[in-house]
Amino acid sequence: MSAPQDSAIPVGAFPAPADATSILLFGGSFDPPHTGHFRLPSLARDAIGADWLIYIPAARSPFKSDGPIADADSRVAMLREGLAESGARRAGVATLELDRARTGAAPSYTIDTLREIQSRLDDRTKLRLLIGADQAREFHRWREARAIIEIAEPAVMLRAGDGAAQRELLDAMRDHWSAAEMKRWESWIIPLPQIEASSTEIRRIVREEGDRSERLKELTTPGVLSLIRHSGLYRS
């Protein structure tokens, strides 16, 4: 396992290079990060032709009743470790939501984050927001949903080749968006491979089967597993 300081993955409030012209943002709890988090966003970035990918760990999701189990520093360390091990390039971890929460402002609203990022960037830098199909379905409930879309058009991860899932998603969204908006949503869908992994599943296995369970090796990277074992995270 490489020491965090050896990692090529930059971490900071918003560690994107000044000359990035198009940045894909990916928010989540990463509690802990898993194979889906490491593989899918890079594929999405390349599919939409963005030149940089920024992971944004949330202090607390407005849609999750419980806060993350692992503390902010552990989640950042796991993300950076797993990204470095996965050979991620043109990727970084932004701590701005965690920094904001340290001053008492939680939960993490995407609109606030986007406005803060916008204020740090050149007007010409294009932002996109990577979300899962589950998040697209509920997007109308996000604070200032339409303002978010104007700042950063979503890119929606959907299982490749699953026309039924795409139709079902769009049908579920139709009540909340105009016909013109639905056309845009359709164009934002990115077909990606399916990766059966979730943070909930990792936490469940550690709790019920222990952190040596073989199944964990399929769900995240060796370095993330090692951090989980050494810190004792998720055991109870």
Cβ proximity to ligand ATP, 63 vs 222, nearer residue: 63
Minimum distance from residue 139 beta carbon to ligand ATP (Å): 11
In angstroms, give the least distance from the CB of 75 to ligand ATP. Answer: 9
- If the CB atoms of residues 125 and 135 are measured against ligand ATP, the closer one turns out to be 135
Residue 131 CB, nearest distance to ligand ATP (Å)?
Answer: 6
Nearer to ligand ATP, 118 or 194 (CB): 194
* Closer residue to ligand ATP in complex, CB, 29/125: 29
CA dist., res. 198 & res. 37, Å (int): 9
Min dist. Cβ of residue 111 to ligand ATP (A): 17
Nearer to ligand ATP, 40 or 129 (CB): 40
Asked if residues 79 and 56 have their Cβ atoms less than 8 Å apart, the reply is no
Pair 100, 90: CB distance under 8 Å: no
* Cβ atoms of 169 and 163 closer than 8 Å: no
- Find all residues with CB under 8 Å of 139, minimum gap 6, and list them: 131, 145, 154, 173, 176
First to last CA, the chain: 25
Give the nearest residue (CB) to ligand ATP: 132
CB under 8 Å to 134, separation ≥6 — which residues? Answer: none
Closest CA to 92 of 73, 79, 110, 74: 79
**Residues within the interface to ligand ATP (CB under 6 A):** 28-31, 36, 40, 131-132, 134-135, 157, 195, 197-200
Shortest Å distance, C-beta 179 to ligand ATP:
25
